[in-house]
Amino acid sequence: MTGRIEPRSRGWRSGKGRLVFVGSACLAFAASAAEVYRTVDEAGHPSFSDRPSLGSERIEIRPVPRVSPAGAATAPSGAAVSPAPAERKEGQTRKTASYSTIEIVSPGNDAAIRSNAGNVTIGVHLEPELAESDRVQVVLDGKPFGKPSRNTVNTLSNLDRGTHRLQVRILDGSGRVLGSGSPIVFHLLRAAVLRQPSG
C-alpha cells in the first residue's frame, strides 16, 4: 500500500507546511502499519508506504500514548474493579439520615390557642421521612418535654397559660442530635378557675 500527498498550492510547499503533511501521514500509517517508509521524488514531493522501495527511508514511529479522561481512575492490570453501589430500592429502610427540612407546621408561629385543659397538638414535617433508628424530641421553653418518640404528631398536656417557645430536635439511636428545627412561639389561652371565698 502506497500513499502520496500532493500540495494544493505553493504555500503548502514551505518547510512548515511540509512538516504538517509529513506528520499527518506518519500518524495515519502508524495506526495501520508497524513500519513506514518515506520516498522523495525528483520534484521533491514525499510519499509514504508500508513497503520499502529503491531509495526509501525507514521512519521510526513511536506508539501513541493512551490518555485517560481527566478525573478518571485507571485500575492496574489484573486488579479487580468493584461495581458501583446499587441504588437504594424503594421501601428499603434507611439506617442513617441527613434531614434537609425539620419544621413545625402546627401550631403556626405566634398562634393563639384556647384550651382550658392546657392541651396543644403539634405537627412536624421532615424531609426525608424519619429513619427507623431516629426519634423526635420536643423542646418546650428550652427544656426537653417528654421522651423522644417516632411520632411526628404529639399532644402536649396540661400546659400553663401564657407564651411558650417550642422547638423539635431529631436524635439518633445514641441520643446524638442530628438536627434542630427553627423555634416558634405560641400563646396558650386558658381560663382561670376562680375560688369562691369560704365563709
pLDDT score at 16:
44
Binned at pLDDT 50, 70 and 90, residue 50 comes out as confident
Rounded mean pLDDT of 130-154?
Answer: 95
| pLDDT top residue among 180 and 98 | 180
Taking CA atoms, 169 is separated from 25, 95, 99, 107, 180, in Å, by 71, 18, 11, 16, 4
Question: Whole-number mean pLDDT of the chain?
Answer: 74
The distance of Cα 191 from the centroid of its chain, to the nearest Å, equals 54
Sheet architecture: strand order including 101-106: 101-106, 120-127, 153-156
Angle at alpha carbon of residue 30, lines to 41 and 68, rounded to 5°: 145
Write down the pTM of the prediction.
0.50
Mean pLDDT of 118-144: 96
Domains and CATH numbers, the chain: 12-59 (no CATH), 101-189 (2.60.40.10)
